[in-house]
Structure 1
Amino acid sequence: MPIQAPPQNAPTTESVTPLAKAIFDNAIDGLITIDDQGIIESFNPACEKIFGYEAFEIVGHNIRVLMPEPYHSEHDGYLEHYKTTGKARIIGTSGREVSGQRKDGTIFPLDLSISRFEHDGRQHFCGIIRDISQHKQREKELRDSESRIRSLVTSTVDGLITINASGQIDTFNPACEKIFGYSAAELAGKNIRVLMPEPYHSEHDGYLENYQRTGQAHIIGTSGREVRGRRKDGSEFPMDLSISRYELDDGVYFCGIIRDITKAKAAEDSRQQLMQRLMESNTELERFAYVASHDMQEPIRMVANFSEILVNEYQAQLDADGREFLEIINSSAIRLQDMVHDLLQYARLGRESLSFGEVNLEEQLEHVKINLSELIRDSGVEIYNAPLPVVSGSSVQLLRLLQNLIANAIKYQPANAHPVIRITCDPQDNYWRIAVSDNGIGISSDFVTQVFEPFRRLHTWDAIKGTGLGLAVCRKIVESHDGQIWANSSPGNGSTFYFTLPKTRERPPQ
Structure 2
Amino acid sequence: MKLRNVPIQRKLTIIIMLTTSMVLAVTSIAFITYEVFSFRSTLVQEMKTVGAVIAANSTAAVAFNDEGAATEILSALRAEENVLSAALYDANGSLLARYSPDASKTDFPPLPDFTGYRFEQGALLLVQPVERAETRVGTLFIQSDLRDIYNRLGLYGLIVALVMAGSFLMAFVISRWVQRSISHPILELAQTARTVSEKKDYSVRAQKFGEDELGELTNAFNDMLRQLGNRDVELFASRERLKLALSASQTGTWEWNLEANQMVWDEFTKKLFGIDRGTFSGGSGQLIEKFHPQDRPTIMKAVEATLLQGKELKVEGRVIWPDGSEHHLALRGKAVSDGPEAAKFNRVTGVCLDITDRRRAEERIRRMNAELEERVLRRTSELTASHQEMEAFTYSVSHDLRAPLRHITAFAEILEEEFSENFGEEARDYLQRILRGTESMSQLVDDLLNLARIGRQGLSLQKVDINIILHEIVADFQPEMKERNIHWEIEYIPEVSADPGLIRQVLANLISNAIKYTRPRKEATIHIGSDIPDGEIIIFIRDNGVGFDMKFVDKLFGAFQRLHRSEDFEGTGVGLALTERIVRKHGGRVWAQSELGKGATFYFSLPIVGKRLKEPEFETAGKMA
Matched position secondary structure for 2:592: strand
Match of 1:120 in 2: none
Residues 460-485 of structure 1 deviation map (CA, whole Å, 9 limit, x = unaligned): 33432212121122222222333332
Cα distance in 2 between the residues matched to 1:475 and 1:399 = 13
Counterpart AA for 1:23 = V
Residues 186-240 of structure 1 deviation map (CA, whole Å, 9 limit, x = unaligned): 41566999999xxxx54210222244557899xx9899x9x99999999999x9x
Match of 2:577 in 1: 472
Counterpart AA for 1:207 = T
Cα distance in 2 between the residues matched to 1:150 and 1:323 = 96
1:106 aligns with 2:219: yes
> What is the RMSD computed on CA atoms of the aligned residues?
5.4
Pairs aligned (count): 398
**Of 179, 187, 196, which residue of structure 1 is paired with 2:272?**
187
Report the alpha carbon displacement of residue 486 of structure 1 after superposing the two structures with TM.
1.5
CA change 1:270–1:155 in 2 (3 A) is farther
CA change 1:311–1:377 in 2 (3 A) is same
Structure 1 window deviating more from structure 2 (271-280 vs 466-475): it is 271-280
Residues 470-505 of structure 1 deviation map (CA, whole Å, 9 limit, x = unaligned): 112222222233333221111110001122234479
Match of 2:116 in 1: none
Match of 1:496 in 2: 601
Matched position secondary structure for 2:456: coil
Match of 1:408 in 2: 513
Cα distance in 2 between the residues matched to 1:378 and 1:266 = 68
**Of 382, 395, 402, which residue of structure 2 is paired with 1:294?**
395
Cα distance in 2 between the residues matched to 1:231 and 1:331 = 84
Aligned-residue sequence identity (percent) comes to: 22
1:247 aligns with 2:351: no
Matched position secondary structure for 1:106: helix
**Of 300, 322, 329, which residue of structure 2 is paired with 1:209?**
300
Matches for 1:73-84 after TM superposition, within 5 Å: none
Cα distance in 1 between the residues matched to 2:304 and 2:442 = 77
**Of 462, 468, 472, which residue of structure 2 is paired with 1:357?**
462
Cα distance in 1 between the residues matched to 2:485 and 2:448 = 29
Instruction: Report if the CA contact (8 A) 1:286-1:347 is conserved.
Output: no
Match of 1:177 in 2: none
CA change 1:21–1:441 in 2 (3 A) is closer
CA change 1:367–1:318 in 2 (3 A) is same
Match of 1:309 in 2: 410
Cα distance in 2 between the residues matched to 1:302 and 1:271 = 47
Cα distance in 2 between the residues matched to 1:251 and 1:447 = 64
CA change 1:487–1:21 in 2 (3 A) is closer
Report the alpha carbon displacement of residue 388 of structure 1 after superposing the two structures with TM.
0.7
Instruction: Report if the CA contact (8 A) 1:210-1:216 is conserved.
Output: no
Counterpart AA for 2:300 = E
Match of 1:42 in 2: none
CA change 1:468–1:445 in 2 (3 A) is same
Cα distance in 2 between the residues matched to 1:495 and 1:65 = 83
Instruction: Report if the CA contact (8 A) 1:359-1:391 is conserved.
Output: yes
Match of 1:57 in 2: 181
Instruction: Report if the CA contact (8 A) 2:537-2:605 is conserved.
Output: yes
CA change 1:62–1:361 in 2 (3 A) is closer
Cα distance in 2 between the residues matched to 1:447 and 1:96 = 79
Cα distance in 2 between the residues matched to 1:169 and 1:327 = 99
CA change 1:478–1:21 in 2 (3 A) is closer
Cα distance in 1 between the residues matched to 2:507 and 2:598 = 21
1:24 aligns with 2:7: yes
Report the alpha carbon displacement of residue 401 of structure 1 after superposing the two structures with TM.
1.7
Matched position secondary structure for 1:487: strand
Superposition TM-score, scaled by structure 1 size: 0.60
Which structure is larger by alpha-carbon Rg, 1 or 2? 2
Residues 131-173 of structure 1 deviation map (CA, whole Å, 9 limit, x = unaligned): 98998799789779878977887899xx97878889x99699x
**Of 432, 435, 440, which residue of structure 2 is paired with 1:335?**
440
CA change 1:244–1:350 in 2 (3 A) is farther
Cα distance in 1 between the residues matched to 2:570 and 2:471 = 25
Cα distance in 2 between the residues matched to 1:302 and 1:418 = 43
CA change 1:378–1:302 in 2 (3 A) is farther
Cα distance in 2 between the residues matched to 1:203 and 1:453 = 58
Cα distance in 2 between the residues matched to 1:497 and 1:384 = 15
Q: Which runs of 5+ in 2 are unaligned?
A: 12-177, 209-214, 276-285, 337-345, 611-625
Instruction: Report if the CA contact (8 A) 1:222-1:242 is conserved.
Output: no
Instruction: Report if the CA contact (8 A) 1:290-1:344 is conserved.
Output: no
Instruction: Report if the CA contact (8 A) 2:319-2:326 is conserved.
Output: yes
Residues 294-341 of structure 1 deviation map (CA, whole Å, 9 limit, x = unaligned): 223444323332223323322425554444444333322322222222
Report the alpha carbon displacement of residue 107 of structure 1 after superposing the two structures with TM.
6.8
Matches for 1:271-290 after TM superposition, within 5 Å: 272=373, 276=377, 279-280=380-381, 282-290=383-391
Counterpart AA for 1:24 = P
CA change 1:357–1:257 in 2 (3 A) is farther
Instruction: Report if the CA contact (8 A) 2:255-2:348 is conserved.
Output: yes
Report the alpha carbon displacement of residue 382 of structure 1 after superposing the two structures with TM.
3.6
Higher strand share: 1
CA change 1:397–1:318 in 2 (3 A) is same
**Of 444, 449, 452, which residue of structure 2 is paired with 1:347?**
452
Cα distance in 2 between the residues matched to 1:326 and 1:395 = 41
**Of 375, 383, 387, which residue of structure 1 is paired with 2:480?**
375
Matches for 1:34-73 after TM superposition, within 5 Å: 55-57=179-181
CA change 1:417–1:257 in 2 (3 A) is farther
CA change 1:359–1:289 in 2 (3 A) is same
Report the alpha carbon displacement of residue 403 of structure 1 after superposing the two structures with TM.
1.6
Matched position secondary structure for 2:6: helix
